[in-house]
Amino acid sequence: MNNSPLFCKNLCGNRIYLTAPLLPVLTANGWDLLFGKSVYQRYADFFSLFPAIRAGREAVNKEEPQLWFVERLPRESWPRQTLVIPVGVPTPQPSSRENLARAISRDIPDAEDVLDRLHRITAAGSPLHGKKVLITAGPTVEDIDPVRFFSNRSTGKMGLALARAAFRLGASVTLVLGPTSLSAPAYAEVINVRSAADMFRQVKQHFEACDYFVAAAAVADFTPVTRYSHKIKKKPGNMLLELQRTEDILKHVARHKKKSQKVIGFSVETEKLLENSRKKLLEKNIDMIVANNPREQGAGFATDTNKVTLIYDGGSVDLGLHSKLETAQRIFQKVRQL
């Protein structure tokens, strides 16, 4: 939760009504929204719907966090503590600019994107400021023929939460993302992949430039030896499908990492969670393993929560049950201590 005052400016006319879905999200997340007295009085009926919003003084300097609501995308740069929110823009588009929020339609700002950017621009001494974080997320898909494939239950939720947390903490984020129905954040450099081999190639290409590598993807351990160019016809009897091991991404990066780099892996185990995960930590020679059991309540692939244990050289810590975003933030807090 954030109790910092947030000065809202340039919000009037139709713009004020278009922001109705966004304002309660901000107040529910602890932001203290302040509007100028003249605006507050002019739209008293509107503000009566939001008791957490109040009239207040104007921001007195550029270092105070501000929201500017605009109808046209600005070309000029804005102070770091100012977040520009497009409302009713003619041509909405994703934004890679740090203090320009993403519009998800002609009229509506993306509340999740606004929250992430607010945390980033107002965080004092961001622990990952200026760092490059490379994250893998989602499942991989191994094709058998043009019709059939095998995959796993990963949705990419945990990996996307890690991308959000890293951005909030000041990092630039590269996300190598397997097939998922979820939308990636506009501020991340997203590289879409399909198979384990695709993901391995992209990690090799981008690993050298990163400060932190987080392997949150559920990568297939096996892939078909033969990938058929035509649909396999159904025949009487059983069918044998020969599989071969895929490249171990974590082992590869551990062999090539510099002293300044940190490598974090994930371990999904349904039995002997701590024992098997610590074994992986030692075998792969990485800095930390995030271990979880998907059979535990609230820790499944498609859930919004997770229950993980962080295992590292010399110890472990059980984080308990939290939202995946909160879990991601706690993971990075621990990583900074390694």
- Please give the positions annotated as active site: 152
E runs forming strands in 93-178: 132-137, 142-143, 149-150, 172-177
34: three-class secondary structure by DSSP: strand
- Contact at 8 Å (CB) between 241 and 144? yes
Measuring CA to CA, which residue among 42, 268, 304 is closest to residue 161? 304
CA distance readout (Å), 36 to 41, 54, 314? 9, 9, 54
First to last CA, the chain: 26
Q: Residues with Cβ < 8 Å from 128, sequence gap 6 or more?
A: 166, 169, 170, 171, 212, 332, 336
Other CB atoms within 10 A of residue 71 CB: 14
DSSP 26: H
249: three-class secondary structure by DSSP: helix
Measuring CA to CA, which residue among 268, 281, 175, 174 is closest to residue 219? 268
